[in-house]
């Protein structure tokens, strides 16, 4: 399997609980968003036939937050996170790498978006 690692320096006061929520949102975004733009040159019926199954797992996520929780052996949802390492283990599904990139883009946006 291919493992892709992303590192983030978290600038705001973001807690473990916040990171968990952002990871979940980024994963949902990656699976929901279309990887390839629609085209007049493709037949939608054919695309459905050759596309990978919608419910196929593209990647599994492990993070430095998981390691932090194991080390402390306690629920630390309110502990601040300064640095975040995310490892995605990609599966053999055709669009796994593209989905991982969507995940990375969305997580990056969520981590650095500041609500006013």
- DSSP SS3 for 53: coil
Model pLDDT, residue 116: 40
Mean pLDDT by runs of 10 across the 116 residues of the chain is: 89 84 94 69 60 78 79 67 90 91 94 66
Closest CA to 96 of 41, 46, 56, 47: 56
């Amino acid at each position: 399997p291919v493992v892709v690692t992303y590192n983030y320096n978290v600038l705001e006061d973001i807690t473990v609980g916040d990171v968990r929520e952002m990871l979940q949102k980024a994963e949902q975004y990656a699976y929901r968003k279309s990887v390839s733009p629609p085209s007049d040159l493709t037949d939608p019926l054919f695309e459905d036939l050759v596309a990978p199954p919608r419910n196929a797992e593209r990647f599994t996520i492990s993070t430095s937050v998981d390691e932090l929780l194991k080390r402390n052996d306690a629920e630390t949802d309110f502990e601040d996170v300064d640095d975040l390492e995310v490892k995605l283990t990609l599966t053999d599904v055709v669009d796994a790498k593209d989905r991982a990139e969507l995940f990375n883009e969305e997580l990056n946006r969520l981590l650095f978006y500041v609500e006013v």
